[in-house]
Amino acid sequence: MKENQKQGDKGVLKRIAGPVVAAVGVNAHMYDVVKVGHEELMGEVIKIQGEEIIIQVYEDTSGIRPGEPVENTGLSLAVELGPGLLTSIYDGIQRPLAVLVDKMGDFIERGVSAPGLDHAKKWNFEPLVREGDAVKPGSIIGQVQETNIVHRVLVPPNAEPATVRSIKSGSFTVDDVVCTLDNGTELTMMHKWPVRVPRPVTEKMNPDIPLITGQRILDGLFPIAKGGTAAIPGPFGSGKTVTQQQLAKWSDAEIVVYIGCGERGNEMTEVLTEFPELEDPKTGKPLMERTVLIANTSNMPVAAREASVYTGITIAEYFRDMGYDVSLMADSTSRWAEAMREISSRLEEMPGEEGYPAYLAARLSEFYERAGLVETLNGSSGSVSVIGAVSPPGGDFSEPVTQNTLRIVKVFWALDAKLSQRRHFPAINWLNSYSLYLESLNDWYDREVSPEWNVLRSWAMEVLQKEAELQEIVQLVGSDALPEAEQLTIEVARMIREIFLQQNAYDAVDTFCDMSKQYDMMKTIKAFSDLAYTAQAAGVTPQQILSTKAKNDLPQIKFIKDYKPELDRIMGEMEKEFNALRSSV
Amino acid sequence: MKEYRTITKIAGPLVFVEKTEPVGYNELVNIALYDGTVKRGQVLDTSDDLVVVQVFETTAGIGRDSGVRFLGETIKMPVGKEMLGRILSGGGKPIDGGPDIVPEKRLDITGAAINPYARASPEEFIQTGISTIDGTNTLVRGQKLPIFSGAGLPHNNIALQIARQSKVLGSQEEFAVVFAAMGITKEEANHFMDDFERTGALERAVVFLNLADDPAVERIITPRLALTTAEYLAFELGMHVLVILTDMTNYCEALRQIGAAREEVPGRRGYPGYMYTDLAGIYERAGIIKGKKGSITQFPILTMPGDDITHPIPDLTGYITEGQIVVSRELHRKGIYPPVNVLPSLSRLMNLGIGEKHTREDHKKVSDQLYAAYAEGNDLRGLVAIVGKDALSERDRMFLEFADLFEDQFVRQGYEEDRSITDTLDIGWKLLSSLPVEQLVRIDRELIQKYHPQFRGAAKAAE
């Protein structure tokens, strides 16, 4: 990288009003990181006008006075990328929270800096290239067993192509040189990357494999692809956070980055205590071993909240560049947008809609565009899937953050307060939600689940849609007034809702449901439906069909781990009951 | 300390001072009036040539001749164990005629954020004795659970009943109540004080009173003083502290007033764009810290303007707090106390504090089933209004009746009635037994066998 000429330049503070301060006499570029005041609080240049630079400060500015010094570091806000990221929990600017507890106690004070990685810890580096091998930006030069995940050490994307002059093997810290190139570049296991700059890739590809989450309504009806983008908007209490956490726990990504952006402290603690205890259904290892957490709670400095989203996605891209499938959850992007709004209003910028800055849409789309299934610089394939929670004020989806997000993302999981009030969880509205990946994923479902699956899904959606129409009539005339066939539709729709769509995140078995169980469940409901319509056509009354007993045992299937024998028994009974009914006509 | 007489502008609660030496952001300010009284304020904006001061009391009497002193430190609250049993003003001065507080410590009132890594997960079940809370919206120690109410509803009684009856089963730890009133009437304040005195709770309480006729701007610091006190009691003295903040709506109005005076770009309905962050700075001061004995549990009360839950005040609150208890005008009109509408109510930390280890193994599923059945019955009421009861199916009629029973037996209880969690769950089962067993799809069969009155009777008979 070229040396920034402005490094070490000093000036003085001129004005302080909350997290935004002004200084004069500092030579700076946009987004340079500066040290503010005698306590050297960390800040970032966000505006330059004439002699004056405007800085957003990542820490509380109480007591800071005009006249105190400001020093430019000449660097952009960057994160440290290397072994030690996994299992970490960071604040919005990649300070490890555990280290902060050691340095300043239980409360977050200010003026303490802490590097993102542990620079004293030694890792066992195993080289994968030899002297004389040609390497280029993004090449893998070696690996480290970080947790149960293998951490691949990369040539930084901004290095020049070269030949390996020497490479070591053994135990090193992230600062030790492990590889020297013939152009003189010395490589360590770590490199830094500015958070606001997307990491380069060779090519972006179209995603065609679903991110399996174990959540029936998501995998079954509205799947997201690996490398895709999804938004979960919903009013408070509708289950955004639980859904996000379920995804972080069970989605079949290899790495999970979870950003708690301006959310509750106790919720982050819940994640912190729960994740180390939970097992990854694939590997049996603690989920924490594949997770990086970023927690900038609502009462932590607002500028650091603004940065937390970029910190998270940069870490996600880094693991993608190693060839992993990464999923990133941001809870909540509305708090991020509010941080932008707060800083923008302190800059006295001309506001756009509802006081949000005019560049809101641009920032959102830039962020979501960093997702994707890619061919990395070293030719492997990796992906970042981004799932953003949105917290619309009053649950009103017409507000700017929701609207601007929906213009970009491909999957929309609409949370519905009405459903959560009746404890229908996950409270995702099946009529409003959509996934634009359905078509590109069809092949995968055909191949990996069953050729029947896509038919079953369309059938289920049709029944649910039909039910919605019928409910409007029921509201007017009562359910008894419906024609017999439609009374059955209502019943079948109820079964799809209660058996398939509802899922208990707190039940040990039901919390994760793989595709084959989803398929079996849906197939059984369809079988009931077929039996019911055939019987009704043969003259059996809906009352008789509704009073059959075997179907009442179906909901219990959710809670049984080895459900197959029970499901076969229910299927058998169901057929018997219907045979009896038909022969009685 | 230098005194400046360079006030150039006074607008609402704001005083603009020129030509000062460097003044720190958020620094405390004293303004001396011609008659010798001193008013306090805080620096909102500071630069070489202009300092903006927000005055906590009214600006009445301040003029260009008033003297301004910058105290060189941010606002600190003197705290000590002696505060228990005392009544203080909204600005933190004793108003009960007693002596000044002898401080053991002086703490910054803004309060730093608790490092999420230092927090312990709240999981101790607090029994409030109110079924709609214990049974369906369980409170745990360290939680912040607001009461969303409306003008003229009995939220104060609910808060008092909770304060009086709350206990952690099987524990005898030191507890304290910190009560902060913001802009409530003297009458309401008396209601609280009388109840505290009657039950002897006052000895274990610290009361901050900013009444309706006290300066509105002072309300900005009242909850911060209260929470600073609470943090001292909880994290330094090891007490379990219950903080009641009432009425947060008045607090937010004061926030809007200052925003308007500063001519800020307003957010929704004129409230400042940083209201979320500001409220978070209050509500997030609850919880438990690893390795420390005490805890802070918060009960903020707010009245929703026009009973509108989407109004910015309840809306932003709901996004920060761990659930909400919603008081319903409709239930109140039906004469049901406590008129808690469980449908929009929620406790996010409920699952941490219930189940075999804390309450009873069937708790979660009974609660889910009660919710689902009540929601269904409640929906059907709308339908009955149009088509009449006769057009309902047999199944629907049962759910309709269930909704009435639920309100009458589960929701309704006495102001002095302290139900144990076992009683609450058993009432739940009794109500569920009015529905056919196969309709109880949310409960596993083993639990039904064990707790359903029908089978329990059978099991007993078999013995």
Predicted local distance difference test score (pLDDT) of residue A173: 96
All residues at 6 or more sequence positions from B120 whose CB lies less than 8 Å from its CB, including other chains: A269, B142, B287, B288, B289, B290
Residue A2 pLDDT grade (very low, low, confident, very high; cuts 50, 70, 90): very low
All residues at 6 or more sequence positions from B244 whose CB lies less than 8 Å from its CB, including other chains: B159, B163, B177, B178, B179, B180, B299, B300, B301
Predicted local distance difference test score (pLDDT) of residue A1: 39
Alpha-helical (H) ranges within B284-433 are 312-320, 329-333, 350-353, 363-387, 394-405, 421-432
Summarize pLDDT for A153-195 with one digit per residue, the tens.
Answer: 999 999 999 999 999 999 999 999 999 999 999 999 999 999 9
Do the beta carbons of residue A72 and residue A18 sit within 8 Å? Answer: no
Summarize pLDDT for A438-451 with one digit per residue, the tens.
Answer: 999 999 999 999 99
Q: Say whether pLDDT at B171 is over 90.
A: no
Is A16 in contact with B281 (Cβ distance < 8 A)?
A: no
Predicted local distance difference test score (pLDDT) of residue B454: 87
Is A237 in contact with B285 (Cβ distance < 8 A)?
A: no
Q: Whose CA is closest to A60, among A109, A114, A113? A: A109
The pairing of strands B295-303 and B240-246 is parallel
Summarize pLDDT for A422-479 with one digit per residue, the tens.
Answer: 888 999 999 999 999 999 999 999 999 999 999 999 999 999 999 999 988 887 777 7
The pairing of strands B14-18 and B147-149 is unpaired
Does residue A473 sit at the B interface (CB-CB below 8 Å)? no
Do the beta carbons of residue B174 and residue B239 sit within 8 Å? Answer: yes
Does residue A18 sit at the B interface (CB-CB below 8 Å)? yes
Q: Say whether pLDDT at B106 is over 80.
A: yes
Quote the percentage of chain B above a pLDDT of 70. Answer: 98
Summarize pLDDT for A75-121 with one digit per residue, the tens.
Answer: 899 999 999 999 999 999 999 999 999 998 999 888 888 999 999 99
Predicted local distance difference test score (pLDDT) of residue B461: 60
Q: Say whether pLDDT at B459 is over 70.
A: no
CA distance to partner chain A, nearest, from residue B61 (Å)? 27
Interface test with B, best of A21, A263, A269, A391 (most B CBs within 10 A): A269
Residue B163 pLDDT grade (very low, low, confident, very high; cuts 50, 70, 90): confident
Nearest to B116 among A97, A422, A423 (CB): A97
Alpha-helical (H) ranges within A42-158 are 97-104
Does residue A541 sit at the B interface (CB-CB below 8 Å)? no
Sheet holding A134-135, edge to edge: A134-135, A162-167, A179-181, A186-187
What does pLDDT average to over chain B? 91
- Classify residue B220 as exposed, middle or buried by CB count within 10 Å of its CB (0-12, 13-18, 19+): buried
Predicted local distance difference test score (pLDDT) of residue B299: 93
Please list the helix, strand and coil fractions of chain B in percent, rounded to the nearest 5, in that order: 40, 25, 35
Nearest to A264 among B48, B322, B444 (CB): B322
Interface test with A, best of B115, B311, B393 (most A CBs within 10 A): B115
Quote the percentage of chain A above a pLDDT of 90. Answer: 72
Q: Say whether pLDDT at B463 is over 60.
A: no
Does residue B71 sit at the A interface (CB-CB below 8 Å)? no
For the four alpha carbons of B394, B395, B398 and B403, in that order, the dihedral sign comes to: negative
What does pLDDT average to over chain A? 92
Question: What's the rounded mean pLDDT across residues B247-259?
Answer: 92
At B18, list the tokens.
């020129």
Question: What's the rounded mean pLDDT across residues B180-203?
Answer: 91
Q: Say whether pLDDT at A7 is over 70.
A: no
Summarize pLDDT for B387-442 with one digit per residue, the tens.
Answer: 888 878 888 899 999 999 999 999 999 999 999 999 999 999 999 999 998 888 88
Q: Which of residues 503-532 of A touch B (CB under 8 A)?
A: 504, 506
The pairing of strands A89-90 and A203-205 is unpaired
Question: What's the rounded mean pLDDT across residues B180-186?
Answer: 93
Is A107 in contact with B112 (Cβ distance < 8 A)?
A: yes
Secondary structure (DSSP) of B393-418: -HHHHHHHHHHHHIIIIII---TT--
Summarize pLDDT for A481-501 with one digit per residue, the tens.
Answer: 788 889 999 999 999 999 999
Summarize pLDDT for A18-32 with one digit per residue, the tens.
Answer: 889 999 989 899 999
Predicted local distance difference test score (pLDDT) of residue B462: 58
Quote the percentage of chain B above a pLDDT of 90. Answer: 68
Q: Say whether pLDDT at B66 is over 80.
A: yes
Does residue B256 sit at the A interface (CB-CB below 8 Å)? no
CA distance to partner chain A, nearest, from residue B378 (Å)? 10
Most confident among A110-119, A388-397, B268-277, B414-423 (mean pLDDT) = B414-423
d(CA A112, CA A116): 13
d(CA B433, CA B453): 7
Does residue A98 sit at the B interface (CB-CB below 8 Å)? yes
Is A299 in contact with B276 (Cβ distance < 8 A)?
A: no
Summarize pLDDT for A239-252 with one digit per residue, the tens.
Answer: 888 888 899 889 99
Interface test with B, best of A21, A264, A563 (most B CBs within 10 A): A264
Nearest to B445 among A60, A423, A556 (CB): A556
Nearest to B441 among A62, A299, A498 (CB): A498
Does residue B314 sit at the A interface (CB-CB below 8 Å)? no
For the four alpha carbons of A217, A218, A219 and A223, in that order, the dihedral sign comes to: positive
Predicted local distance difference test score (pLDDT) of residue A88: 93
Predicted local distance difference test score (pLDDT) of residue B458: 66
Predicted local distance difference test score (pLDDT) of residue B457: 67
- Classify residue B215 as exposed, middle or buried by CB count within 10 Å of its CB (0-12, 13-18, 19+): buried
Predicted local distance difference test score (pLDDT) of residue B21: 87
Contacts of B364 in chain A (CB under 8 A): 506
Nearest to A393 among B315, B364, B376 (CB): B315
Chain B residue with CA closest to A97: the answer is B117
